[in-house]
Chain A
Amino acid sequence: MSSRLATGGRRIDRSKRLSFSFNGTKLTGFEGDTLASALLANGQDLVGRSFKYHRPRGIVAAGAEEPNALVALGQGDRMEPNQRATITELFDGLSARSQNHWPSLQFDIGAINARLSRFLPAGFYYKTFMQPRAAWKHLFEPVIRKSAGLGPAPTQGDPDRYEYFYAHTDVLVAGGGIAGLAAARAAAEAGARVLLVEQDSRFGGRSATDGVVIDGTDAEAWVAEQVAALSAMPNVDLRLRTMAAGVYDHGYVTLYERAGDRDPGAAPVRHRLWRVRAGRTVTATGAIERPISFAGNDRPGVMLASAVRDYIDLYAVSPGDRTVVVTATDDGYRTALAVRDAGLDVPAVLDTRPDPKGPLVDAVRARGIRVEAGRGIAKVRGTRRVTGVDICAQAGEGAVIEHVPCECVAMAGGWSPVVHLWSHCGGKLLWDETAHHFRPDPDRPPTGADGQGFAVTAGTASGPMDTGAALADAVEAGHRAAKALGHDKGAPRIPQADGTADGPPAAVWMMPHGAGPELRGKAFLDFQNDVKVSDVQLAAQEGYQSVEHTKRYTTLGMATDQGKLSNINGLAILSDSLGAPIPEVGTTTFRPPYTPISLGAVAGEARGSLFKPVRRTPIHDWHADAGAVWEPVGDWRRPYCYPKDEESHRDAVNREITATRSGVGLLDASTLGKIIVSGPDAAAFLDLTYTNMMSSLKVGRCRYGLMCTENGFLFDDGVVVRLSEDSFLCHTTSGGSDRVHAWMEEWLQTEWWDLKVWTSNVTEQFGQIAIVGPKARSVLERLGGMDLSAEALPFMAMAEGTLGGIGVRIFRISFSGELSYEIAVPAGRARALWDMLLAEGAADGITPYGTEALHVMRAEKGYIMIGDETDGTVIPQDLNLGWAVSKKKSDFIGKRAMERSALTDPDRKQLVGLETEDPALVLPDGAHAVSGQTNRFGQQETLGHVTSTYWSPTLNRSIAMALVSGGSRRMGETLDFSLEDGRIAKARVVDPVFLDKDGERQNV
């Protein structure tokens, strides 16, 4: 059992005791502990269950690569599943629960899967659960889903805040170990601006634990000195608890800062997502130790050798009284020394190499520790934790030479550089035949827009595991990064590390080398997903030979650690199975983020009211006070109607329409898009973008214009006003202003860059109020200030002046068929004008109306609505708007497309009006007319569909518009519309203009 040692612990402060709970049990730890170290200190070896077989899992690592120790952290709306205990800093009151077991961690029913593991090899689910067909959905899948899934799903919204930071820097250094510090210093001293980030809560990485001595001082002091020096430099910014998450094109890097995780509920911000533009990114991300594949290597108590010495040195945690070290490297001997120095026993160091030698080996031997050369582990004994190991010859098949009791096994399989950041954006890797790892190929870095590499590796992340070489590499990397950006003050000094380099490691991919199927079936590669050596071999045998196939077939490397421990071992096994060299097999793709980051951080502050903020018209508050029912339109909210008291929405709409048509109504039309198009070529430009001729429009006049795509399909409409010879005001639909503006700019910037035209979206600069109805003119005249007679301001004309003392621009245009004025006013004066109009019109019963009344009134007049009568497949001619398509212009967007055969087909769907036989029946939205036949696909043949359908209070009957095949030839025909329940509603095809065909109401 693991426990706390009486002395030591570089990181913990024994004077500050913290209490926390695990699975409801109260435990204590110290300030400086991680949750993992505190759990180990409390003897909690078993921390979770694996994904597939629900095998008992203990802590295996001490850092971000941990695959096993995943806990549900926190409670209620602050619960976070799958948090790695190894990177969770302990705080007072922390509450954690283990995952993926039922009913308890100790006794898990799901562990039956482990008993059946022989029947559940890689991909077994592709070969079974197929009969009977319905059983997959109803039986097998629910069971599989339930037994998978790791942590519990949160059930509530997240009360915490997240934010974005933006930074521009010359050199971003990812990793604050000795290499990162050295690289940062070299870059900073050259004069570059430097941002150094470290995912851990301390700088210095492994250096202190590994006993590194630099420039004659111990690592801890050297690191402190570097941090102090860097902190004092104005061009350097240092950040702890900040991980470089992803590297993207053009040197764009995301950082993930866990700012408030130690202070849940109290911290102002939980996570920060940094978005950095860096001239160069130095990846000083260090290396990760590889486990060794032997039977039972997944048992709690089997740990990475480096983690064992981390827990001893940093947290004064004994991993158990007796630790067997199994190693393919000299580095494993450091663990043996650390264990012995802590006063614990090392029954044996099992070195797979036939002839281990060197200073570390000598030191271990000198301490009287037994070193067994050419040996390995045949099998680990113990179920819920290690009780001992069976020793065998590494070269053999696993015959047991000796049983050695122990509580901990420390695996030292060699070190692999962390190459993720380098690889995210296309940096390539080399296979190092000596160190047996992939390392970045400096000749094939990720490249930026200039074709130059924008990433530089530093330290062990480059490949060299020896401190001296790593430091030299790091200084050179920092210097090179700065120099590439024009900062150079000569070659920097390289700090000198004491000691000699370790000897070469052995490549041990399977222990023992000749292990049979029994042992291979218990030797785990991916601890979380339960992928064993035998699984990878099975994948190769079955033809899943690409490393990506193997990964996907076995789930190797698909766990939450994304293969940080398993990938190299797995692909070495694959390469062996295929008889192909490792570099030929290659790696799977490294995808961001480096370790998982919260979705909250990805979303940032844009949530709730900041998620797509509502655009408000200057009259918004009045609508709210008046009890408007809102309808989202684009990013706006518009009043749908203004129900009074207990009035239904429908009654309110009918009242608003009747009041408008018989008296006067008022509409907030401020959401209409308004784009100023000006310049000497403005008229020519609009002739190209609209289907109409706009150049012939006279100053002060308005024209209804249509815009089509290159394919000839109508996508926006609105009234264009010529303000002066070279400036136009183009109205767009409410939802379309941004799109139309972008569309104009795209054509101007990419196709017609020779035109002298400027566009400006002034939608929000103006309020716009439509006053509509037979009494509209008299209300305005009472306000005074402008001559609004039919002679002075005829239909489709514009006038500027003052109305009731407010400067306005009045357009006499109508979307309802009534006498109507749209009054544009500077946004700041819109509410005043609205109030004035309401007051002045009170005597006439002036009635504000919403979007639904607007829609009904336009439908009564047969006016189209973009998005209802159009759907991206409709050309103006389909809507009887051929008159708005100029035949005189040599070109406009969509002109050529309209000449294509399908667009001139007389059987195209065309807009018609519909009158149901039963005048009370309002056809459903989108209902289809059916012919009673089936089409070539065996579907019911349709003739067309309803595009707009309303109850018309004016006509006291239902009205509808539809797009019907050959519609203009069908006037007077009765069509069958299929209702949802299969019944047929009959409707007669009529002219879509239901009301006032001659326009007498507006022509006054």
Chain B
Amino acid sequence: MKKYSVFSLAREALRYHSGWERAWASPDPKAEYDTIIVGAGGHGLATAYYLAKEHGITNVAVLEKGWLGGGNTGRNTTIIRSNYLQPESAAIYEKARGLYEGLSQELNFNIMFSPRGVMMLCQTQHELRAMQRTAHANRLAGIETEMVSPERVKEIVPIIEIDGPRFPVLGGLWQPRGGTARHDAVAWGYARGASARGVDIIQQCAVTGIDRDASGVTGVQTTRGPIRCKKLCIVVAGSSGVLADMAGFRLPVESVALQALVSEPVKPCMDCVVMANTVHGYMSQSDKGEMVIGGGADGFNNYTQRGSFQHLEETVRALIETFPMISRLKMLRHWGGIVDMTGDRSPIIGQTPVPGIFINCGWGTGGFKAIPGSGWATAEMLAKGTPGTLAAPFSLDRFTEGRMIDESVAAAVAH
């Protein structure tokens, strides 16, 4: 792997950049791999990367039906935070956030992690109390957050209206080391890192069937032919139910479209991420200058990956009340991504009823922030054959045992 640096950039400039090599290889699938990961999104690629890096397992293929990073990794609003309430969530999201901090250097690919801070507004007494609880939980979990006053909210986010007529801002939960990253770069950086360590990333290769015998999984059928494997890990977010069906089991997830939009770019006016849960909306400003806005998920199940309008108006109204200056900005584009929602809004990482098949899904509306931690924990599980400390609480059987990890109290809306 050719190292990226300002020096290599200068060197290449002199020869019209003719010497840059492919960021990741594009091999044909082999007949068999030790481990196949289905889904080359952030989570799948990170899993492959950490399998190779942390566990030396490189006879691995990542199969992708479209183009890598083309699902929710490339559609989300790029928020990274770890201010979760429950200890289990706090542990894995904080692991992820910590890995994000050094990821550009580790991958030698600038993923532009920008710890510009995440502000979660409190706009009712109830929300204030809930956030106070979260702040206490975060402190004890070693996650740096603090409750801040409305005046401090205004100081950090000058464009905010804190004395709005309907839901004045009563305070905020501030995570100074949360922020955003360039979502595509996360996928590309992991792909490049995994590929350099020998992982085969195979795009345009849809899994059409899963082969199993009495002892468990034996391989997959794909649009590029059958591929055998010893272990199979399904990391396909909104399509998890479809893959589970091929493998012969059911998942407690529903797939719905989550809506997002961006405005036209403007000069910097807001550094941090602001989430307004009472009115339902969140917003940050990308390095390009676009206001990146997210809101609710559609109220019906589907797989279309399209934007629909009914949630946008609510989201935009909420944000205009919170940031009156955005009213004269223009919506550039809006879209949807299919998120896989579990009953407790926490992910599933674990074994499945089929021996040899593992799953990582259910990140719902908040998967991007978890990518490094999720990949790290999933790789550990695949390497050892059993979930480690971080992944263990998120097993599939928690639903049959009633061992929920419910985060809805901490984030009543989409993450």
Chain A residues in the interface with B (C-beta under 8 A): 51, 78-82, 118-119, 121, 124-131, 133, 136-137, 141-142, 144-146, 148-158, 160, 246, 248-249, 252, 254, 275, 424-426, 517-518, 521, 534, 538, 541-546, 548-549, 552-553, 555, 558, 560, 562, 589, 591-593, 596-600, 602-604, 606-609, 611-612, 614, 631-633, 640, 711-713, 867-868, 871-873, 897, 900-903, 924-928, 930, 935-940, 942, 945-946, 978, 980
Q: How far is the CB of B134 from chain A (nearest CB, A)?
A: 7
Set of chain B residues within 8 Å of A871, measured between Cβ atoms? 130, 406, 408-409
18 further contact pairs, Cβ within 8 A, besides A128-B110, A938-B91: A81-B328, A119-B9, A126-B188, A131-B105, A137-B115, A150-B266, A153-B329, A156-B325, A541-B20, A543-B24, A546-B203, A555-B288, A602-B331, A612-B166, A925-B133, A926-B136, A936-B389, A940-B141
**Residue from A600, A631, A978 having most chain B Cβ neighbours under 10 A:** A600
What are the residues of chain A within 8 A of B353 when measuring CB–CB? none
Complex interface: chain B residues within 8 A of A80 (CB): 328, 330
B101 to chain A, nearest CB (A): 7
Cα of A82 to Cα of B262 in the assembled complex, Å? 14
The 8 A CB mask of B59-96 against A (1 = contact, 0 = none) is: 00000001111100010000000000001101100000
Q: Is there an interface contact between B406 and A598, defined as CB atoms closer than 8 Å?
A: no
Min CB distance B292 to A, Å, is 13
Query: Who on chain A is nearest to B329 by CB?
Result: A599
* Number of interface residues, chain B, beta carbon within 8 A: 118
B149 within 8 Å of A by Cβ? no
By a CB distance below 8 angstroms, the chain B residues around A149 are 265-268, 288-289
Give Cα distance in the complex from A537 to B272, angstroms. 35
> What is the total of A-B residue contacts with beta carbons within 8 Å?
346
Cross-chain pairs A/B with CB under 8 angstroms, 6 sampled: A133-B102, A151-B266, A538-B20, A546-B203, A604-B317, A633-B126
A611 touches B136 (CB 8 A): no
Task: Give chain A residues whose Cβ lies under 8 Å from the Cβ of B188.
Answer: 126, 544, 553
0/1 per residue, B119-136, Cβ < 8 Å to A?
000011110111011111
Contact A157 B324 (CB under 8 A): yes
Whether the Cβ atoms of B265 and A127 lie closer than 8 Å is no
Taking a contact as CB atoms closer than 8 A, the residue among A541, A552, A872, A924 that contacts B74 in the complex is A552
B208 at the interface (CB under 8 A from A): no
Decide: A897 and B266 in contact? CB cutoff 8 A.
no
The answer to whether B18 touches A517, judged by C-beta atoms less than 8 angstroms apart, is yes
Q: Residue on A with the closest CB to B392? A: A936
Is there an interface contact between A148 and B134, defined as CB atoms closer than 8 Å? no
Q: In the complex, A867→B9 CA distance in Å?
A: 56
- List A contacts of B309 (CB < 8 A): 246, 248, 252, 254, 275
Cβ-neighbour of B307 out of A534, A558, A591 (below 8 A): A591
Chain A neighbourhood of B91, CB < 8 A: 937-939
Complex CA distance for A872 and B344, rounded to whole angstroms: 9
Query: Which of B285, B289, B328 has most A Cβ within 10 Å?
Result: B328
**B1 CB within 8 Å of chain A:** no
Selected interface stretch from B216-224, B231-239, B379-387, B396-404? B396-404
Docked-complex contact B325 and A602, CB < 8 angstroms: no
Given the complex of chains A and B, what is the CA–CA distance between A924 and B331 in angstroms?
42
Which of B25, B116, B167, B288: most chain A CB closer than 10 A? B288
Instruction: Quote the shortest CB–CB distance from B306 to chain A (angstroms).
Output: 7
> How far, in angstroms, from A261 to B136 measured CA to CA in the complex?
50
At the interface with chain A, which of B29-37, B242-250, B332-340, B361-369? B332-340
A597-B330 in contact given A632-B123, A924-B132, A926-B129 (Cβ < 8 Å) = yes
Distance to closest chain A CB from B107 (angstroms): 9
B residues neighboring A (CB under 8 Å):
4-6, 8-10, 13, 16-18, 20-26, 66-70, 74, 87-88, 90-91, 101-102, 104-105, 108-110, 112-116, 123-126, 128-130, 132-137, 139-142, 159, 161, 165-167, 182, 184-185, 188-189, 203, 263-269, 278-279, 285, 287-289, 304, 306-309, 312-313, 316-321, 324-335, 343-344, 389-390, 398, 400-404, 406, 408-409
Nearest-CB residue, chain B, relative to A605: B317
Smallest Cβ-Cβ distance to A977: which chain B residue: B136
CA distance A978 to B279 in the complex (A): 31
Which residues from chain B contact A155 at a C-beta distance below 8 Å? 159, 269, 325
By a CB distance below 8 angstroms, the chain A residues around B115 are 137
Q: Are B331 and A125 in contact (CB under 8 A)?
A: no
Interface pair B20/A602, CB less than 8 Å apart: no
Q: Closest 8 interchain pairs by CB?
A: A926-B133, A149-B289, A157-B324, A900-B402, A158-B327, A596-B330, A546-B67, A153-B269
Q: Is the CB of A426 within 8 A of B306?
A: yes
Q: Are B265 and A538 in contact (CB under 8 A)?
A: no
B400 to chain A, nearest CB (A): 7
* Docked pose: A947 CA to B264 CA in angstroms: 44
The CA of A930 and the CA of B109, in the complex, are separated in Å by 41
- Minimum CB–CB distance from B340 to chain A (whole Å) comes to 18
Contact A125 to B112, CB < 8 A, known contacts A146-B267, A871-B406: yes
Task: Report whether A711 and B404 are in contact in the complex, using a CB–CB cutoff of 8 Å.
Answer: yes
Complex partner residue of B5 from A128, A548, A555, CB under 8 angstroms: A128
B278 CB to closest chain A CB (Å) equals 8
Contact A900/B317 with A133-B105, A937-B87, A942-B87 known, Cβ cut-off 8 Å: no
A129 touches which of B101, B110, B125, B333 (Cβ 8 Å): B110
Complex Cα gap A80–B325 (Å): 10
- B287 A144 Cβ-Cβ under 8 A: yes
- Are A157 and B327 interface neighbours, CB within 8 A? yes
Say which residue of B329, B335, B402 sits within 8 Å of A902 (CB atoms): B402
When chains A and B are docked, how far (Å) is the Cα of A552 from the Cα of B132?
Answer: 40
In whole Å, how far is B44's beta carbon from the nearest beta carbon of chain A? 16
Residues A150 and B327 in contact, CB atoms below 8 Å apart = no
Q: Within the complex, what minimum Cβ distance (angstroms) separates B95 from chain A?
A: 9
CB nearest neighbor in B for A164: B313
Chain A residues with CB under 8 Å of B304's CB are 249, 426
Contact B263 A592 (CB under 8 A): no
Pick the contact of A126 from B124, B166, B185 — CB < 8 Å?
B185
Give the residues in chain B near A938, CB-CB below 8 Å. 91, 142
- B317 near A607 (CB under 8 angstroms)? yes
Residues on the B chain within 8 Å of A254, using CB:
309
Chain B residues lying within 8 Å of A599, measured Cβ to Cβ, are 263, 316, 319-320, 326-331
Chain B residues with CB under 8 Å of A558's CB are 288
Residues of the A chain whose Cβ atoms lie less than 8 Å from the Cβ of B203 = 546
What is the minimal beta-carbon distance from A401 to any residue of chain B, in angstroms?
Answer: 24
What is the CA–CA distance of A34 and B394 in the complex, to the nearest angstrom?
60
Do A141 and B306 form a contact, CB below 8 Å, given A82-B265, A602-B313, A602-B316?
Answer: no
> Within the assembled complex, what's the spacing in Å between the Cα atoms of A939 and B113?
25
Closest CB in chain A relative to B177 CB, distance in Å? 10
CB atoms of A939 and B266 under 8 A apart: no
| Chain A residues within an 8 Å CB radius of B9 | 119, 124, 127-128
Q: Give chain A residues whose Cβ lies under 8 Å from the Cβ of B344.
A: 711
Given A82-B264, A153-B266, A158-B328: A978 in contact with B74 (beta carbons within 8 A): no
Q: Do residues A133 and B289 form an inter-chain contact, with CB atoms below 8 A?
A: no
Which residue of B25, B110, B279, B332 is within 8 Å of A125 (Cβ)? B110
Tell me how far the C-beta of A714 lies from the nearest C-beta in chain B, rounded to whole angstroms. Answer: 12
Q: Is the CB of B328 within 8 A of A598?
A: yes
With a cutoff of 8 Å between Cβ atoms, the chain B residues found around residue A246 in the complex are: 307, 309
Contacts of A82 in B (CB 8 A): 264-266, 330
CA distance A937 to B86 in the complex (A): 12
Whether B408 lies near A872 (C-beta < 8 A) is yes
A543 touches B23 (CB 8 A): yes
CA distance A248 to B130 in the complex (A): 38
| Alpha-carbon distance A549/B128, docked complex (angstroms) | 42
Q: Are A603 and B317 in contact (CB under 8 A)?
A: yes
Assess the B313–A603 pair: CB atoms within 8 A. yes
A939–chain B nearest beta-carbon distance, Å: 4
B406 touches A136 (CB 8 A): no
Which residues does chain A contribute within 8 Å of B17, judged by CB atoms? 121, 534, 538, 541
Tell which of B6, B114, B402 touches A711, judged by Cβ atoms closer than 8 Å.
B402
The reply to whether A926 and B70 contact each other, CB–CB distance below 8 Å, is: no
Q: Bound state CA distance, A602 and B20, in angstroms?
A: 44
